[in-house]
């Protein structure tokens, strides 16, 4: 049964990912801390078990995604675009709504040093106005231009 929450909040040390139909995956900073702050990551998708695994790798790994610079530290999360992976996930998760985001928290495998996300446990919520990840502007603070 799909759970629905209009706005999800998690502690800053909670390793979670958000999946959006538009081809974007947001990874919280805590995911990177969990797997040792790698210079690159690789996604492993198990379609039968509905499990997405994030494995640390080198920045030069041709099958991986580089984790570069201060962007993810500054914004609280890193956005990775992968339309192919998102299409595969949405095909397997047939009851997922394309207008919602899906968030799930990692389990950590110490021996393999991987973050494991069971997508069948993902919680659906509205897509926030701040769809690029990170923290929304607090009231009273001026936005930098």
Which has more pLDDT, 67 or 11? 67
Task: Find the range with the poorest average confidence among 5-9, 61-65, 84-88.
Answer: 5-9
Considering the domain boundaries, does residue 39 fall inside one?
yes
Domain assignment of residue 31, given as a range:
14-126
- Residue 4 lies inside a defined structural domain of this protein: no
Q: Per-residue pLDDT averaged across 101-106, rounded?
A: 94
Q: Which range (2-16, 40-54, 75-89) has the least confidence?
A: 2-16
What is 87-103 written as a DSSP string? HHHHHHSTT--TTEEEE
110-145 tens-digit pLDDT? 999 999 999 999 999 887 665 555 555 555 555 555
Q: What is the pLDDT, as a whole number, of residue 68?
A: 75
How far is Cα 95 from Cα 105, in angstroms, rounded to an integer? Answer: 19
Structural domain contains residue 132: no
How many domains are there within the chain? 1
Does pTM surpass 0.95? no
The answer to whether residue 22 is domain-embedded is yes
The pLDDT score that the predictor gives to residue 35 is 94
Tokens standing for 20? 């959006």
Write the CB contacts of 113 (distance below 8 Å, at least 6 apart in sequence): 35, 36, 55, 56
**Is 19 inside any structural domain?**
yes
- Sort strands 3-4 and 123-126 into parallel, antiparallel or unpaired: parallel
Is residue 30, in this structure, part of any structural domain at all?
Answer: yes
Q: Which pLDDT does position 138 carry in this prediction?
A: 53
Cα Rg of the chain (Å, integer) = 15
pLDDT above 90 (res 92): yes
Whole-number pLDDT of residue 43: 96
């Amino acid at each position: 049964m799909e759970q629905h929450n209009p706005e999800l909040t998690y502690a800053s040390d909670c390793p979670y990912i958000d999946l959006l139909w538009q081809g974007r995956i947001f990874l919280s900073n805590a995911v990177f801390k969990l797997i040792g702050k790698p210079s690159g990551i690789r996604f492993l998708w198990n379609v039968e078990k509905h499990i997405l695994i994030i494995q640390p790798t080198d920045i030069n790994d041709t099958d991986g995604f580089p984790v570069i610079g201060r962007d993810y530290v500054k914004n609280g999360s890193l956005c990775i675009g992968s339309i192919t992976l998102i299409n595969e996930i949405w095909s397997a998760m047939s009851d997922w709504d394309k207008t919602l985001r899906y968030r799930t928290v990692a389990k950590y495998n110490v021996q393999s040093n991987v973050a494991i996300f069971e997508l069948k446990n993902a919680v659906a919520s509205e897509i926030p106005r701040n769809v690029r990840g990170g923290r929304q502007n607090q009231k009273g603070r001026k936005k930098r231009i």
